[in-house]
Amino acid sequence: MADPTQSEQTETMNIYILTYNCARTLVNPSIFAPHLFHGLPANSLSPEFLVICLQEFAPISAAFLGGSFLTPYFNAWRDIVRLASSSKDHSYVNVISRNVGMTGIMVFARDDVADHVKWLRTAGVGVGLGEMGNKGAVGLRIGYQSPGMAREVEFTWVSAHLAPMEDGLERRNEDYKNIVKRLVFVSDSSSRKPVAGDEEDEDAPLLQGDDPSQQIDEASACGMYASSSHLFFAGDLNYRTSLLRPSPQDVDEKFPHPTTNEADPKHFQQLLAEDQLTQQVKAGKTLHGLSEAPITFPPTYKYRTDGNKAVIFASGEEDDRQHWSWARHRWPSWCDRIFFWNDRGNGNNIKVTPQKYTCLPLFTTSDHRPVALAATVPLKALPNARQWGEGEGVPTAAPFDIDPDWRSRRAQARKKELAVGLMAYLALTWEGNGLLLATTIGAIGGWLVLRSLLTG
């Protein structure tokens, strides 16, 4: 008799996405791991894909220099996944890990499906100062086809970090526009198809356009809105609940606190009604065509943390008996979000189905709470969709054209990142300080020796 569980698995794909702003601090695997899968529905099977979207996941020196400087930060998350899955029915293979500056993304495939990943494509763009990667987006696209499937199914995951501050609304909208225009997916020559049980691949910063010898097939290059791909867009999107900073009166009267009474002025649902992102999406000004599951969890930013505790909220969801300690100079907001593309307007029923959307506990290393989405997706290839704005109904392709200069702009920004990263390393790290001191002493010593030879 056929295993009904296996039959169900061949018809749908279970995906678990986590987004977290790490506040430039190395996470502790033994503390985070017990909570990693908190966002899964009760008694659910291990998802086929685990996608971890990270913002500010390393200090600017390590993030901008990349390579081996980032290895400890990626390895910490690999350790988290290994520890968290040790009690599960499956282990995970790290398919690929990439970053653009301080924004990273890691895709893990369950050990029994990792061999079904047929190809990988990557994309990255900076939208910070000088288009550097202190803010920006990094994306991964895969082709998946298991035995018995007639056609490949494509999945696209994007990790993003947009402009901060209450008054940065228009800048956030502009950041999203620039991401759509310049997040172009191409084959990644440094990646290879994963094999179950294989060693994790070596980390590499995303250097699209940085190497003139890199061959990019312009015909196959494609933006974020690919009609053939499922799309998930996650990150610290930074949309707030006000255009102005809070006053002392706001802190006392409007900041939410734990209560089950939704009519209470301090219930978080009252503040959620002011969410900028919800308003901007409805107005068609950002995240065009993307959807979000209902928010039933409290704001994920900005908390004051207690350094005496590793985990502030042990439950991660039901915090009605806890006290939320907010920073008084920022509005509590739902900065950390996960969206997906369902509204294609072509009448197909191949849709993402959210199973659970929640936040995880507050860890003392960050003023953000992680957010997780568990979802299922039919394992059916998406049909070709019409272009944005054609015909009736919901648009189905990119709202903005790809910038023809995306590659050269990224290459120029990458040069700036290396310069800033080196300066930050020398000025802000003990290792860099030591190197700078040794270089200075060596230069002075060399000058003294040379002077004595010339004057002797």
pTM value is 0.89
User: What is the tens place of the pLDDT at every residue in 294-341?
Assistant: 999 999 999 998 777 888 876 545 554 567 899 999 999 999 999 999
pLDDT score for 383: 75
Fold for 4-411, please state it: Deoxyribonuclease I; Chain A (3.60.10)
| Mean pLDDT, residues 87-108 | 95
Quote the CA–CA distance of 222 and 379 in Å, as a whole number: 22
Per 3-state DSSP, the chain is made up of helix, strand and coil in percentages (nearest 5) of 30, 25, 50
% of the chain at pLDDT higher than 70:
81
| Mean pLDDT, residues 284-291 | 96
Paired strand residues for 353? 376
As a whole number, the mean pLDDT across the chain is 86
> What value, to the nearest 5°, has the Cα angle with vertex 149 and ends 345 and 374?
60
Give the contacts of 430 (CB within 8 A, at least 6 positions apart): none
Quote the CA–CA distance of 261 and 276 in Å, as a whole number: 23
Lowest mean pLDDT among 172-181, 213-222, 442-451: 213-222
pLDDT score for 386: 41
Specify the residue for token string 């709470």: 369
Dihedrals phi, psi of 240, to nearest 5 degrees: -110, -170
User: What is the tens place of the pLDDT at every residue in 27-53?
Assistant: 999 999 999 999 999 989 899 999 999
Specify the residue for token string 């939704």: 262
Alpha helices in 87-186 (DSSP H): 169-182
Quote the CA–CA distance of 99 and 159 in Å, as a whole number: 9
User: What is the tens place of the pLDDT at every residue in 232-269?
Assistant: 999 999 999 999 999 999 999 999 999 888 889 899 99
